């Protein structure tokens, strides 16, 4: 019993918290409240369930169902319409189906299968599945020893341990989607170029006398207790830079270097992991606070980010011309209400505005005023570490401005550690991106429809798309804050959290991921403030070259209803502007080239290369002696001349390298 009250791991804590937050059932029992009233008992039960194997968990669940059946139960009636019995958890009592499935980590389909077995066989024990009872189908001990030896060799020679891996178990039922996340530090990964088939072929070459099939080899690997944590890595993009550098150092380091520097490298990586986990735990705690319906003063938690640029027009059957043409860029900015899991995506074209701090602050303000479903005096914002859009003085000053304007009493802005910034808004981007690649998009209205219909009915997630195509939404916050209200904050890239409070007007409380308990105070108010009006940003305007190109090159590929929307006929003034722009570009390029060729030594500022004869031997013919080449006087590198005697591009690059 003492083991049952040992400190809970993160995985077991997350399982218990997911049960206490599971408020999506429609029953009147409010089963999730049982976790708080009987928390000591739930810790004992959840610890046991979490440590069960898949088979053991199924047998325990089947026994719990059988204990609810008696001779008067309707499930034993041959004329029954539907198999149904009260669902009970041992030592707890009868609960609703949503809570029952969450506790056992089971799907509704599996529950129905067990009820059908009880109704048809009245068996006290869960029947063995497949070939479990077939003694002839079991692998011989000497065969298993060979497989174990091979897998141990794989793990020691090619394996890489990952300490920050996140897993998610997802369970579907009629009324809720339950997600339980936990961390496991004992995972060993093989490089992604491996596969079960390739490794099996290598095994057969090393052990030609062992008769085993690929399926048996794979089943043993996945189910054996020793090797179930030996996995093949999936290819991934945008992985953490520090983790990639750490992996590269460890894998390429010699034994002598490893014995000398391993403590230093490992301590740096452990600090990185500690910071990552601290901010990740902070993010999950904020979400739990936002979902705690018993707290009337609970905060509003929003996550926001930009997605990868989309392109219009887009066709799943892409013509070759689309690939070689610069198409219209569409920007997608997502905001997620973590309490309700509602995703709002703002979309606008490159003709409207760019992607900067003003745009982010403006869309957040628009969302707060028009899209929030609940009022609260506490707002928490979560973003990634992009300095141009999120981690800058404008966003920090926005916190003080929201508090000073009376919209909130406390506003916080927090950042996860670089490389580990995935949050709920990225999940919405992944869903919409998959659907976008499969759907034709000919206008912003088409894109809006694609984003809103990318989530089917089986998902609880909801996406709303808002098109920004006019002035008044994007405001010039940067000039407004810096010129009239606030000062710049020093060392902003070092902080992972900032808070503006009504009790400390004019100051921001900051902390770092290395030590969240230590806070720093940063003043933001100007000493002399000037009254002014927050002005809207003007539209960026159309690109006349792109409009002309669309009409000439892409109009024939666009369906008729969208031709005048996406590829209208340009005015004569547009054509003249395009000609002038191209002429100016050619003239500038020619002037730059002539300047370099006329007097490139004075242009550089010091003599870095001279003309010398290419051949100096007396045995060379006179015609060859007259040929010349460029020779660098600093590093004695030789370059060929162009036919007209001018400098070639390699010479220009070499000169610039000396300038740097």
CA atoms within 13 A on the CB side of 401: 20
Distance CA 628, CA 637 (A): 14
Phi, psi of 55 (to 5 degrees): -65, -45
Q: Is the pLDDT of residue 176 over 60?
A: no
Residues pairing with 507 in the sheet? 523
Q: Helix-strand-coil percent breakdown of the chain, rounded to 5?
A: 45, 15, 40
Token digits of residue 406: 């009376």
Write the pLDDT tens digit of every residue in 488-538.
877 778 888 999 999 888 888 998 888 888 888 888 887 677 777 888 888
Count of CB atoms situated within 10 Å of the CB of 314: 20
**Domain count for the chain:** 5
**Residue 627 confidence (pLDDT) above 60:** no
Q: What six digits make up the tokens of 352? A: 């409207």
Q: Are residues 305 and 362 in the same domain?
A: yes
Asked whether residue 408 is domain-assigned, the answer is yes
Query: Which secondary structure element, helix H or strand E, spans residue 321, and what is its range?
Result: helix 320-323
Classify residue 353 as left (phi > 0), alpha (psi -120 to 50) or beta.
Answer: beta
| Range with the poorest average pLDDT among 107-116, 383-392, 521-530, 570-579 | 521-530
541 in the same domain as 519: no
Report whether pLDDT(170) > 70: no
Could you tell me if 325 and 438 lie in one domain? yes
Residue 31 lies in a domain: yes
Last residue of a domain, one of 121, 150, 174: 121
Same domain, yes or no: 484 and 346: yes
DSSP secondary structure of 602-647 = HHHSS--EEEEES---TTS-HHHHT-EEEEETTT--EEPPPTTS--
Closest of 448, 291, 301, 475 to residue 372, by C-alpha: 301
**330 and 181 share a domain?**
no
Number of H helices and number of E strands within the chain?
A: 23, 20
Per-chain mean pLDDT for the chain:
78
pLDDT category, 344, cuts 50, 70, 90? very high
**Model pLDDT, residue 25:** 55
Q: What's the mean pLDDT in 123-146?
A: 69
pLDDT of the residue at 489: 79
Digit-coded pLDDT (tens) for 40-90: 787 788 778 877 777 788 888 888 888 888 777 777 776 665 667 888 888
Looking at residue 277, its pLDDT comes to 84
Whether residue 11 lies inside any domain: the answer is yes
**pLDDT band with cut points at 50, 70 and 90 for residue 624:** very low
* 3-state SS assignment for residue 521: strand
Residues 552 and 451 grouped into a single domain: no
Structural domain of 200: 140-236
Average pLDDT on 408-433 reads 88
Q: How far is CA 184 from CA 46, 62, 190, 620, in A?
A: 17, 28, 16, 74
- State which H helix or E strand residue 196 sits in: helix 196-206
Same domain? For 370 and 506 the reply is: yes
Long-range contacts of 644-652 (CB under 8 A, 24+ apart): 646/593, 646/597, 647/596, 647/597, 647/600, 651/609, 652/596
Q: Which of 233-237, 365-369, 613-617 has the lowest mean pLDDT?
A: 613-617
If you average pLDDT over residues 559-565, what whole number do you get?
89
**Residue 320 domain-assigned (yes or no):** yes
| 317 and 418 assigned to the same domain | yes
State the Cα–Cα distance between residues 429 and 433, nearest whole angstrom. Answer: 6
Q: How far apart are CA 592 and CA 573, in angstroms?
A: 29
Q: Are residues 209 and 283 in the same domain?
A: no
Highest mean pLDDT among 123-127, 172-176, 228-232, 562-566: 562-566
In this predicted model, what pLDDT tens digit does every residue of 347-380 receive, in sequence order? 999 989 989 899 999 999 999 999 988 889 999 9
Same domain, 496 and 368: yes
Average pLDDT over residues 282-290: 90
| 257 pLDDT more than 60 | yes
The phi, psi pair for 67, rounded to 5°, reads: -65, -15
Give the Å distances, CA to CA, from 268 to 242, 262, 264, 265. Answer: 10, 10, 6, 5
Here the tokens at position 449 are 């429809």
Q: Does residue 216 form part of some domain?
A: yes
Token match 């999506």: residue?
24
Domain end residue (candidates: 121, 151, 186): 121
DSSP E strands, 45-106: 88-89, 93-94
Note the pLDDT of residue 143: 79
Instruction: Flag whether 105 is in a domain.
Output: yes
Among residues 574, 567, 561, the alpha carbon closest in space to that of 312 is found at 567
How high is the pLDDT of residue 5?
45
Nearest by Cα to 516 from 493, 503, 497, 499: 497
Q: What is the pLDDT of residue 636?
A: 64
Q: Residue 179 in contact with residue 291, Cβ under 8 Å?
A: no
Check residue 368 and give its pLDDT: 93
What would the two tokens of residue 642 be?
A: 């162009």
In the chain the first and final C-alpha atoms are separated, in Å, by 70
Q: Is the pLDDT of residue 604 over 70?
A: no
Query: For 159-169, what is each residue's pLDDT tens digit?
Result: 765 544 333 33
Contact 535, 476 (CB under 8 A): yes
Q: What is the pLDDT of residue 164?
A: 44
Query: Dihedral (C-alpha) 449, 452, 453, 456: value to the nearest 10 degrees?
Result: 180
More confident residue, 400 or 267: 400
- pLDDT, mean of residues 446-459: 79
From the list 645, 655, 346, 281, the residue with the least C-alpha distance to 497 is: 281
Checking if the pLDDT of 171 tops 70, the result is no
- Non-local CB neighbours of 262 within 8 Å, separated by 6+ positions: 253
Domain-embedded: residue 441:
yes
Distance, in Å, from the CA atom of 147 to the CA atom of 143, rounded to the nearest integer, reads 7
Q: Examine the domain organization and report whether 347 and 231 are in the same domain.
A: no
Find, among 508, 492, 476, 520, the residue nearest to 404 by Cα.
508
Q: Is 348 within 8 Å of 469 (Cβ atoms)? A: yes
Q: Is-contact 155 189, C-beta < 8 A?
A: no
Residues 6+ apart with CB under 8 A from 577: 544
Residue 255 — pLDDT band, cuts 50, 70, 90? low
Residue (of 103, 91, 96) closest to 57 by Cα position: 103
- Of residues 613 and 356, more confidence is placed in 356
**E runs forming strands in 209-327:** 230-232, 300-306, 310-312
168 and 45 fall within a common domain: no
- Cα–Cα distance between 592 and 595 in angstroms, integer? 5
Q: Is residue 135 part of a domain?
A: no
Give whole-number Cα distances, 90 to 64, 171, 327, 341, 510, in Å.
7, 21, 62, 33, 48
Q: Write down the pTM of the prediction.
A: 0.66
- Helices 196-206 + 214-223 axis angle, to 10: 110
Query: In angstroms, rounded to a whole number, what is the distance separating the alpha carbons of residues 348 and 425?
Result: 18
pLDDT at 10: 46
The last residue of one of the domains, among 213, 236, 259, is 236
């Amino acid at each position: 019993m003492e083991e049952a009250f040992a400190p809970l791991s993160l995985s077991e804590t997350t399982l218990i918290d997911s049960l206490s937050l599971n408020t999506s059932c429609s029953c009147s029992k409010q089963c999730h409240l049982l976790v708080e009233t009987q928390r000591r008992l739930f810790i004992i039960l959840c610890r046991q369930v979490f440590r069960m194997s898949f088979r053991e968990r199924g047998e325990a669940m089947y026994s719990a169902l059988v204990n609810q059946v008696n001779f008067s139960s309707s499930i034993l009636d041959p004329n029954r319409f539907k198999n149904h019995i009260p669902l009970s958890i041992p030592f707890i009592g009868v609960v609703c189906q949503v809570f029952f499935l969450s506790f056992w980590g089971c799907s509704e389909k599996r529950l129905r299968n067990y009820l059908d077995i009880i109704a048809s066989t009245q068996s006290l024990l869960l029947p063995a599945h497949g070939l479990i009872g077939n003694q002839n189908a079991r692998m011989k001990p000497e065969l298993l020893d060979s497989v174990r030896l091979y897998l141990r060799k794989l793990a020691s020679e090619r394996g890489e341990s990952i300490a920050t891996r996140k897993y998610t178990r997802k369970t579907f039922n009629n009324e809720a989607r339950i997600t339980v996340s936990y961390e496991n530090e004992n995972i060993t990964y093989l490089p992604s170029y491996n596969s079960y088939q390739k490794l099996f072929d290598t095994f057969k070459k090393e052990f030609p006398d062992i008769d085993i099939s690929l399926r048996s080899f794979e089943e043993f690997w996945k189910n054996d207790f020793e090797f179930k944590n030996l996995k093949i890595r999936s290819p991934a993009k945008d992985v953490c830079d520090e983790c990639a550098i750490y992996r590269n150092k460890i894998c390429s380091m010699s034994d002598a270097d490893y014995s000398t520097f391993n403590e230093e490298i490992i301590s740096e990586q452990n600090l990185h992991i500690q910071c990552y986990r601290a901010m990740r735990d902070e993010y999950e705690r904020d979400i739990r606070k936002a979902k705690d319906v018993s707290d009337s003063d609970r905060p509003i938690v929003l996550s926001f980010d930009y997605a990868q640029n989309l392109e219009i027009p887009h066709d799943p059957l892409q013509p070759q011309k689309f690939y070689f043409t610069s198409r219209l860029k569409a920007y997608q900015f997502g905001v997620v209400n973590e309490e309700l899991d509602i995703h709002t995506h703002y979309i606008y074209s490159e003709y409207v505005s760019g992607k900067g701090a003003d745009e982010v602050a403006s869309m957040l303000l628009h969302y707060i005023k028009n899209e929030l479903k609940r009022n609260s005096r506490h707002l928490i914002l979560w973003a990634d570490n992009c300095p141009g859009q999120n981690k800058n003085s404008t966003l920090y000053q926005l916190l003080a401005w929201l508090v000073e304007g009376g919209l909130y009493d406390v506003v916080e802005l927090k950042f996860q550690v670089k490389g580990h910034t995935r949050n709920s808004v990225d999940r919405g981007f992944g869903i919409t991106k998959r659907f976008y690649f499969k759907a034709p998009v000919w206008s912003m209205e088409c894109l809006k429809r694609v984003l809103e219909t990318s989530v089917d009915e089986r998902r609880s997630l909801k996406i709303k798309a808002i098109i920004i195509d006019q002035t008044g939404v994007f405001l010039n916050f940067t000039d407004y804050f810096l010129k009239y209200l606030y000062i710049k904050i020093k060392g902003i890239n070092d902080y992972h959290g900032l808070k503006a409070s009504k009790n400390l007007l004019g100051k921001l409380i900051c902390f770092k991921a290395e030590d969240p308990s230590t806070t720093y105070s940063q003043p933001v108010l100007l000493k002399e403030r000037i009254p002014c009006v927050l002005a809207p940003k003007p539209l960026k305007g159309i690109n006349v070259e792109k409009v002309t190109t669309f009409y000439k090159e892409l109009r024939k590929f666009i369906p008729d209803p969208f031709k005048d929307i996406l590829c209208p006929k340009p005015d004569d003034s547009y054509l003249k502007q395009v000609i002038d722009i191209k002429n100016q570009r050619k003239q500038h390029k020619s002037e730059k080239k002539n300047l370099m060729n006329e007097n490139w030594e004075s242009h550089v500022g010091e003599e870095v290369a001279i003309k010398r004869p290419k051949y100096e031997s007396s045995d060379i013919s006179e015609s060859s002696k007259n040929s010349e080449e460029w020779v660098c006087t600093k590093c004695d590198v030789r370059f060929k001349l162009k036919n007209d005697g001018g400098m070639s591009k390699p010479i220009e690059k070499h000169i610039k390298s000396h300038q740097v």
